[in-house]
Structure 1
Protein backbone atom coordinates (compact mmCIF):
# COMPACT_ATOMS: atom_id res chain seq x y z
CA UNK A 1 0.00 0.00 0.00
CA UNK A 2 2.90 2.40 0.63
CA UNK A 3 3.87 2.15 -3.04
CA UNK A 4 0.53 3.70 -4.01
CA UNK A 5 0.94 6.45 -1.43
CA UNK A 6 4.36 7.35 -2.82
CA UNK A 7 3.04 7.43 -6.40
CA UNK A 8 0.14 9.71 -5.50
CA UNK A 9 2.48 11.95 -3.48
CA UNK A 10 4.87 12.21 -6.44
CA UNK A 11 1.95 12.95 -8.78
CA UNK A 12 0.74 15.74 -6.50
CA UNK A 13 4.22 17.28 -6.44
CA UNK A 14 4.57 17.28 -10.23
CA UNK A 15 1.03 18.52 -10.89
CA UNK A 16 1.37 21.35 -8.38
CA UNK A 17 -1.37 23.53 -7.02
CA UNK A 18 -4.26 24.77 -9.13
CA UNK A 19 -5.31 28.40 -8.99
CA UNK A 20 -8.37 30.17 -10.36
CA UNK A 21 -7.06 33.26 -12.15
CA UNK A 22 -9.10 36.45 -11.93
CA UNK A 23 -8.45 40.04 -12.90
CA UNK A 24 -8.74 43.27 -10.97
CA UNK A 25 -7.87 46.15 -13.26
CA UNK A 26 -4.55 45.36 -14.96
CA UNK A 27 -3.44 42.77 -12.40
CA UNK A 28 -3.98 39.02 -12.43
CA UNK A 29 -4.59 37.23 -9.14
CA UNK A 30 -4.72 33.56 -8.24
CA UNK A 31 -6.69 31.83 -5.50
CA UNK A 32 -6.74 28.18 -4.51
CA UNK A 33 -9.24 26.45 -6.83
CA UNK A 34 -10.37 24.17 -3.99
CA UNK A 35 -11.97 27.17 -2.24
CA UNK A 36 -14.15 28.02 -5.26
CA UNK A 37 -17.75 26.81 -5.14
CA UNK A 38 -19.03 28.50 -8.31
CA UNK A 39 -18.68 31.48 -10.60
CA UNK A 40 -21.74 33.55 -11.47
CA UNK A 41 -22.70 36.86 -13.00
CA UNK A 42 -23.11 39.88 -10.77
CA UNK A 43 -26.70 40.23 -9.55
CA UNK A 44 -28.29 42.91 -7.44
CA UNK A 45 -27.55 42.58 -3.75
CA UNK A 46 -29.39 43.74 -0.66
CA UNK A 47 -27.36 46.55 0.86
CA UNK A 48 -26.84 46.49 4.62
CA UNK A 49 -26.63 49.85 6.40
CA UNK A 50 -23.46 50.95 8.22
CA UNK A 51 -21.05 48.55 6.55
CA UNK A 52 -17.83 49.49 4.77
CA UNK A 53 -18.20 50.39 1.09
CA UNK A 54 -16.44 47.21 -0.09
CA UNK A 55 -19.17 45.06 1.49
CA UNK A 56 -21.78 45.37 -1.24
CA UNK A 57 -24.46 43.54 0.73
CA UNK A 58 -25.93 40.07 0.78
CA UNK A 59 -27.64 37.82 -1.72
CA UNK A 60 -29.74 34.68 -1.35
CA UNK A 61 -28.03 31.78 -3.08
CA UNK A 62 -30.36 28.77 -3.02
CA UNK A 63 -31.45 29.47 0.55
CA UNK A 64 -28.03 30.52 1.87
CA UNK A 65 -27.45 34.20 2.70
CA UNK A 66 -24.10 35.04 1.11
CA UNK A 67 -22.21 38.27 1.86
CA UNK A 68 -20.81 39.91 -1.30
CA UNK A 69 -17.44 41.69 -1.07
CA UNK A 70 -16.17 43.82 -3.94
CA UNK A 71 -12.42 43.13 -4.01
CA UNK A 72 -11.95 46.01 -6.45
CA UNK A 73 -13.11 48.48 -3.80
CA UNK A 74 -11.22 46.64 -1.04
CA UNK A 75 -8.02 46.92 -3.10
CA UNK A 76 -8.67 50.65 -3.71
CA UNK A 77 -9.19 50.55 -7.46
CA UNK A 78 -10.14 53.91 -8.89
CA UNK A 79 -12.79 53.03 -11.47
CA UNK A 80 -15.17 50.28 -10.45
CA UNK A 81 -17.83 49.58 -13.06
CA UNK A 82 -20.39 46.82 -13.25
CA UNK A 83 -20.89 45.34 -16.70
CA UNK A 84 -21.55 41.98 -18.38
CA UNK A 85 -17.96 40.85 -17.61
CA UNK A 86 -18.23 41.50 -13.87
CA UNK A 87 -18.44 38.21 -12.01
CA UNK A 88 -18.90 36.92 -8.50
CA UNK A 89 -16.69 34.07 -7.37
CA UNK A 90 -18.55 32.17 -4.66
CA UNK A 91 -16.07 30.77 -2.16
CA UNK A 92 -16.64 27.99 0.30
CA UNK A 93 -14.34 28.85 3.19
CA UNK A 94 -14.00 27.01 6.47
CA UNK A 95 -16.44 29.14 8.42
CA UNK A 96 -18.58 30.79 5.74
CA UNK A 97 -19.71 31.07 2.14
CA UNK A 98 -18.68 34.43 0.66
CA UNK A 99 -18.94 35.99 -2.80
CA UNK A 100 -16.17 38.19 -4.16
CA UNK A 101 -16.75 40.60 -7.03
CA UNK A 102 -13.93 40.76 -9.61
CA UNK A 103 -13.50 42.23 -13.09
CA UNK A 104 -13.34 38.82 -14.73
CA UNK A 105 -12.13 35.23 -14.53
CA UNK A 106 -9.64 34.08 -17.13
CA UNK A 107 -8.58 30.48 -16.48
CA UNK A 108 -7.32 27.81 -14.12
CA UNK A 109 -3.56 27.40 -13.91
CA UNK A 110 -1.51 24.69 -12.32
CA UNK A 111 1.73 25.93 -10.78
CA UNK A 112 4.40 23.71 -9.36
CA UNK A 113 6.64 24.69 -6.46
CA UNK A 114 9.46 26.15 -8.59
CA UNK A 115 7.01 28.52 -10.36
CA UNK A 116 5.98 30.17 -7.09
CA UNK A 117 8.22 32.90 -5.69
CA UNK A 118 7.99 34.33 -2.18
CA UNK A 119 5.84 37.44 -1.83
CA UNK A 120 7.75 40.72 -1.90
CA UNK A 121 8.11 42.61 1.37
CA UNK A 122 5.94 45.41 0.07
CA UNK A 123 3.05 45.91 -2.29
CA UNK A 124 0.93 48.93 -3.05
CA UNK A 125 -2.52 47.39 -3.45
CA UNK A 126 -2.57 44.71 -0.81
CA UNK A 127 -1.11 43.99 2.59
CA UNK A 128 1.58 41.33 2.22
CA UNK A 129 0.07 39.26 5.03
CA UNK A 130 -2.59 38.14 2.52
CA UNK A 131 -0.10 37.09 -0.15
CA UNK A 132 1.15 33.54 -0.49
CA UNK A 133 3.59 34.43 -3.25
CA UNK A 134 3.95 35.33 -6.90
CA UNK A 135 3.25 32.78 -9.58
CA UNK A 136 5.50 32.99 -12.61
CA UNK A 137 4.36 31.44 -15.88
CA UNK A 138 6.43 32.68 -18.79
CA UNK A 139 5.72 36.40 -19.10
CA UNK A 140 2.67 36.18 -16.81
CA UNK A 141 2.95 37.13 -13.17
CA UNK A 142 0.13 36.10 -10.83
CA UNK A 143 -0.39 37.60 -7.40
CA UNK A 144 -1.30 34.59 -5.26
CA UNK A 145 -3.75 35.51 -2.51
CA UNK A 146 -4.53 33.60 0.68
CA UNK A 147 -8.24 34.26 0.32
CA UNK A 148 -9.04 32.56 3.63
CA UNK A 149 -6.72 34.94 5.50
CA UNK A 150 -7.95 37.98 3.56
CA UNK A 151 -11.58 37.22 4.28
CA UNK A 152 -11.08 36.40 7.95
CA UNK A 153 -9.55 39.73 8.89
CA UNK A 154 -11.12 41.82 11.66
CA UNK A 155 -13.24 43.90 9.30
CA UNK A 156 -14.76 40.71 7.92
CA UNK A 157 -16.24 40.06 11.36
CA UNK A 158 -18.78 42.66 10.24
CA UNK A 159 -19.83 40.27 7.49
CA UNK A 160 -20.55 37.57 10.04
CA UNK A 161 -22.53 40.02 12.17
CA UNK A 162 -24.67 41.23 9.26
CA UNK A 163 -25.26 37.77 7.80
CA UNK A 164 -26.65 36.41 11.04
Structure 2
Protein backbone atom coordinates (compact mmCIF):
# COMPACT_ATOMS: atom_id res chain seq x y z
CA UNK A 1 0.00 0.00 0.00
CA UNK A 2 1.39 3.40 -0.97
CA UNK A 3 1.56 6.18 1.62
CA UNK A 4 2.34 9.83 1.05
CA UNK A 5 4.61 11.64 3.47
CA UNK A 6 5.85 15.18 3.89
CA UNK A 7 9.58 15.03 4.58
CA UNK A 8 11.39 17.66 6.59
CA UNK A 9 14.68 18.29 8.33
CA UNK A 10 15.90 18.95 11.82
CA UNK A 11 19.59 19.64 11.48
CA UNK A 12 21.00 16.87 9.29
CA UNK A 13 18.21 14.44 10.21
CA UNK A 14 15.39 13.65 7.79
CA UNK A 15 11.94 12.91 9.14
CA UNK A 16 8.54 12.33 7.63
CA UNK A 17 4.93 12.51 8.69
CA UNK A 18 1.80 11.21 7.00
CA UNK A 19 0.47 13.88 4.65
CA UNK A 20 -3.09 13.36 5.92
CA UNK A 21 -2.09 14.75 9.35
CA UNK A 22 -0.77 18.02 7.86
CA UNK A 23 -3.12 20.99 8.04
CA UNK A 24 -0.71 23.67 6.86
CA UNK A 25 2.90 24.78 6.74
CA UNK A 26 3.57 28.31 7.92
CA UNK A 27 6.52 30.61 8.33
CA UNK A 28 8.16 30.90 11.73
CA UNK A 29 6.24 33.16 14.10
CA UNK A 30 7.58 34.08 17.55
CA UNK A 31 5.66 32.30 20.29
CA UNK A 32 4.14 33.42 23.55
CA UNK A 33 5.65 31.43 26.40
CA UNK A 34 3.38 29.72 28.90
CA UNK A 35 4.36 29.51 32.58
CA UNK A 36 5.59 26.17 33.94
CA UNK A 37 5.41 24.41 30.56
CA UNK A 38 7.84 21.66 29.53
CA UNK A 39 11.00 22.87 27.74
CA UNK A 40 9.91 21.30 24.44
CA UNK A 41 6.70 23.42 24.42
CA UNK A 42 8.02 26.65 22.97
CA UNK A 43 4.77 28.49 23.57
CA UNK A 44 1.66 29.28 21.58
CA UNK A 45 0.77 31.29 18.49
CA UNK A 46 -2.50 32.66 17.17
CA UNK A 47 -3.73 30.56 14.26
CA UNK A 48 -6.69 32.51 12.91
CA UNK A 49 -8.21 32.90 16.37
CA UNK A 50 -7.15 29.50 17.69
CA UNK A 51 -4.41 29.06 20.29
CA UNK A 52 -1.86 26.72 18.68
CA UNK A 53 0.69 24.99 20.95
CA UNK A 54 4.12 24.98 19.26
CA UNK A 55 6.42 22.04 19.98
CA UNK A 56 10.18 22.21 19.53
CA UNK A 57 10.49 18.85 17.80
CA UNK A 58 14.27 18.84 18.14
CA UNK A 59 13.97 19.19 21.92
CA UNK A 60 11.16 16.64 22.11
CA UNK A 61 13.29 14.10 20.27
CA UNK A 62 16.19 14.69 22.66
CA UNK A 63 18.40 16.55 20.17
CA UNK A 64 18.55 19.87 22.03
CA UNK A 65 16.59 23.10 21.83
CA UNK A 66 16.23 24.73 18.43
CA UNK A 67 17.14 28.38 18.00
CA UNK A 68 14.36 29.37 15.59
CA UNK A 69 15.12 31.92 12.90
CA UNK A 70 13.12 33.28 9.99
CA UNK A 71 14.25 30.21 7.99
CA UNK A 72 12.43 27.80 10.32
CA UNK A 73 8.86 26.73 9.66
CA UNK A 74 5.96 25.48 11.72
CA UNK A 75 4.20 22.39 10.42
CA UNK A 76 0.63 22.40 11.72
CA UNK A 77 -0.49 18.81 12.34
CA UNK A 78 -3.70 17.36 13.66
CA UNK A 79 -3.33 14.71 16.36
CA UNK A 80 -6.75 13.34 17.29
CA UNK A 81 -8.84 16.53 17.60
CA UNK A 82 -5.93 18.79 18.66
CA UNK A 83 -3.91 21.01 16.33
CA UNK A 84 -0.21 21.34 17.20
CA UNK A 85 2.65 23.16 15.55
CA UNK A 86 6.02 21.47 15.08
CA UNK A 87 9.13 23.64 14.67
CA UNK A 88 11.37 22.20 11.95
CA UNK A 89 14.39 23.55 10.07
CA UNK A 90 13.02 23.01 6.55
CA UNK A 91 10.30 21.16 4.66
CA UNK A 92 11.66 19.07 1.79
CA UNK A 93 9.34 16.99 -0.39
CA UNK A 94 6.18 15.00 -0.67
CA UNK A 95 7.20 11.39 -1.19
CA UNK A 96 5.26 8.20 -1.84
CA UNK A 97 6.50 5.11 -0.06
CA UNK A 98 5.47 1.49 -0.16
CA UNK A 99 4.26 0.57 3.32
CA UNK A 100 6.14 -2.72 2.98
CA UNK A 101 9.44 -0.80 2.84
CA UNK A 102 8.84 0.69 6.30
CA UNK A 103 11.26 -0.90 8.76
CA UNK A 104 10.86 -0.83 12.54
CA UNK A 105 13.36 1.29 14.45
CA UNK A 106 16.18 -0.70 16.03
CA UNK A 107 15.78 -1.66 19.69
CA UNK A 108 18.14 0.74 21.45
CA UNK A 109 16.46 1.09 24.83
CA UNK A 110 14.37 4.06 25.93
CA UNK A 111 16.06 6.66 23.72
CA UNK A 112 13.65 9.58 23.20
CA UNK A 113 14.16 9.81 19.45
CA UNK A 114 13.34 6.12 18.93
CA UNK A 115 10.11 5.82 20.92
CA UNK A 116 8.44 8.52 18.81
CA UNK A 117 9.16 6.71 15.55
CA UNK A 118 6.77 4.57 13.58
CA UNK A 119 9.71 3.31 11.54
CA UNK A 120 12.41 4.12 9.02
CA UNK A 121 12.26 4.06 5.26
CA UNK A 122 14.95 4.56 2.61
CA UNK A 123 14.22 7.53 0.33
CA UNK A 124 16.77 8.06 -2.42
CA UNK A 125 20.18 8.02 -0.70
CA UNK A 126 19.07 8.64 2.91
CA UNK A 127 17.02 7.10 5.69
CA UNK A 128 13.88 8.97 6.69
CA UNK A 129 12.49 8.55 10.20
CA UNK A 130 8.69 8.36 10.16
CA UNK A 131 7.26 10.21 13.14
CA UNK A 132 4.40 8.63 15.09
CA UNK A 133 2.18 11.58 15.98
CA UNK A 134 0.02 9.39 18.23
CA UNK A 135 3.03 8.41 20.37
CA UNK A 136 4.23 12.01 20.42
CA UNK A 137 0.82 13.18 21.68
CA UNK A 138 0.57 10.43 24.30
CA UNK A 139 4.00 11.33 25.69
CA UNK A 140 3.19 15.07 25.65
CA UNK A 141 0.14 14.49 27.81
CA UNK A 142 2.28 12.76 30.42
CA UNK A 143 5.34 15.07 30.23
CA UNK A 144 6.45 16.35 33.63
CA UNK A 145 6.17 20.04 34.31
CA UNK A 146 9.29 21.93 35.37
CA UNK A 147 9.91 22.46 39.06
CA UNK A 148 8.89 25.83 40.48
CA UNK A 149 11.84 27.99 41.49
Q: Calculate the TM-score normalised by the size of structure 2.
A: 0.86
How far 1:114 sits from its partner (Å)?
Answer: 3.3
Question: Partners in 1 of 2:19 and 2:71 — Cα distance?
Answer: 20
Structure-1 residue corresponding to 2:10: 24
Is 2:117 aligned against 1:131? Answer: yes
Question: Partners in 2 of 1:75 and 1:119 — Cα distance?
Answer: 14
Equivalent of 2:47, from 61, 72, 75? 61
- Any idea what the Cα deviations from partners look like across 1:103-140, whole Å, max 9, x if unmatched? 11111111012321122112755133x22111112322
* Contact 1:115-1:137 within 8 A present in 2 as well: no
Structure-2 residue corresponding to 1:144: 130
Report the secondary structure of 2:113's partner residue.
coil
1:157 and 1:117, CA in 2 relative to 1: closer, same or farther beyond 3 A?
closer
Structure-2 residue corresponding to 1:117: 103
Normalized per residue, which structure has more helix? 1
Structure-1 residue corresponding to 2:61: 75
Q: Calculate the TM-score normalised by the size of structure 1.
A: 0.78
Structure-2 residue corresponding to 1:5: none
Normalized per residue, which structure has more strand? 2
What are the ranges of 5 or more consecutive residues in structure 1 without an aligned counterpart?
1-12, 159-164
* Contact 1:134-1:144 within 8 A present in 2 as well: yes
Structure-2 residue corresponding to 1:4: none
Structure showing greater radius of gyration is: 1
Question: What value does the CA root-mean-square deviation take over the aligned residues?
Answer: 1.9
1:97 and 1:28, CA in 2 relative to 1: closer, same or farther beyond 3 A?
same
Report the secondary structure of 1:118's partner residue.
coil
Report the number of matched residues. Answer: 142
Question: Partners in 2 of 1:126 and 1:81 — Cα distance?
Answer: 19
1:95 and 1:53, CA in 2 relative to 1: closer, same or farther beyond 3 A?
same
